């Protein structure tokens, strides 16, 4: 817990979109203050070259802790925060399950983020990938029947990532109680968490999808 002071959190300046949002959600839920640094691309490229020796993965999201350590990339970062802040599974078996959920969120982001570069692929994504991901997570959230979180009554770091990707791919807006009861229950409970409720109330009402021009 001691390293989680003077936190600097770096991600691209793209609102609540992209891989940066899960860690923000978790830090808000935990009530841990952090400097939320949102970079334009040129600023990121400058920083990237500055920190490459210490952080050769050199990609975002990135959390710099008060002890000078770099904690980068969404999966490992979320796991780190989970361990440090008490959002991790307690048994090895459950820890494996939570890691699997986290890994599958990464796949969903990978599919979705392609649309930042190829927005014309949206219909293809919706037809071939979006439903596959929704079905996967509906099943995962039904595995521990007591819910509402993916591990049952205990929230873990993966839940923050799942909420963020459901929002990113605009699943929240059309979530149907009958069709996806497990995800529905999760979202309802998650949004009622005190700090989360306050934080998401501050979200911009409508964010245009990100488009990154390729030359
Ligand atoms: N698997 C990594 C992907 C990391 C990644 O590609 N991040 C992008 C932003 S979402 C990035 O930093 N791009 C700029 C760069 O690599 O310089 C994760 O989940 O965090």
Whole-number pLDDT of residue 2:
53
For the stretch 144-166, pLDDT in tens is 988 899 999 999 999 999 999 99
- Measured by CA distance, the residue closest to atom 6 of ligand 1 is 59
Q: Measuring CA to CA, which residue among 166, 136, 162 is closest to residue 22?
A: 162
99-124 mean pLDDT: 97
Question: Which protein residue has the closest C-alpha to ligand 1 atom 19?
Answer: 74
Contact between residue 80 and residue 71 where contact means Cβ atoms under 8 Å apart = yes
Q: Are 23 and 9 in contact (CB under 8 A)?
A: yes
* Whole-structure pTM value: 0.97
Q: Which of 28, 38, 31, 29 is nearest to 8 (CA)?
A: 38
Where are the chain's structural domains?
8-85, 92-193
pLDDT at 213: 84
What was the pLDDT predicted at 174? 92
- The alpha carbon of 58 and the centre of ligand 1 are apart by a number of angstroms equal to 8
Which residues make beta-bridge pairs with 71?
Answer: 63
Q: Is the CB of 17 under 6 A from ligand 1?
A: no
One CATH from 3.20.20.70, 1.10.3330.10, 3.40.190.10, 1.20.1050.10 for 92-193: 1.20.1050.10
Residue 205 pLDDT class (50, 70, 90 cuts) = confident
pLDDT of residue 214: 83
**CATH 3.40.120.10, domain 8-85, yes or no:** no
Q: How far is CA 181 from CA 37, 101, 138, 162, in A?
A: 36, 18, 8, 15
Q: Does any ligand 1 atom lie closer than 6 A to the CB of residue 48?
A: yes
């Amino acid at each position: 817990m001691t390293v989680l002071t003077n936190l600097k959190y770096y991600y691209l300046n793209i609102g609540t979109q992209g891989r940066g949002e899960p860690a923000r959600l978790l830090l808000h839920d935990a009530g841990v203050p952090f400097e939320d640094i949102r970079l334009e691309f040129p600023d990121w490229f400058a920083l990237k070259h500055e920190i490459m020796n210490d952080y050769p993965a050199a990609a975002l999201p990135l959390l710099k802790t008060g002890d000078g350590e770099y904690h980068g990339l969404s999966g490992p970062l979320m796991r780190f925060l989970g361990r440090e802040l008490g959002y991790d599974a307690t048994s090895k078996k459950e820890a494996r399950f939570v890691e699997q959920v986290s890994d599958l969120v990464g796949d969903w982001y990978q599919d979705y983020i392609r649309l930042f570069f190829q927005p014309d692929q949206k219909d293809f994504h919706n037809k071939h990938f979006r439903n596959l991901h929704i079905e996967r997570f509906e099943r995962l959230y039904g595995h521990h029947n007591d819910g509402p979180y993916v591990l049952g009554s205990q929230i873990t770091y993966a839940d923050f990532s799942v909420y963020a990707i459901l929002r990113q791919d605009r699943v929240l807006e059309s979530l149907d109680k009958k069709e996806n009861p497990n995800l529905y229950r999760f979202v309802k409970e998650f949004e009622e968490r005190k700090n989360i409720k306050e934080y998401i109330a501050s979200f911009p009402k409508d964010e245009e999808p990100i488009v990154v021009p390729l030359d």
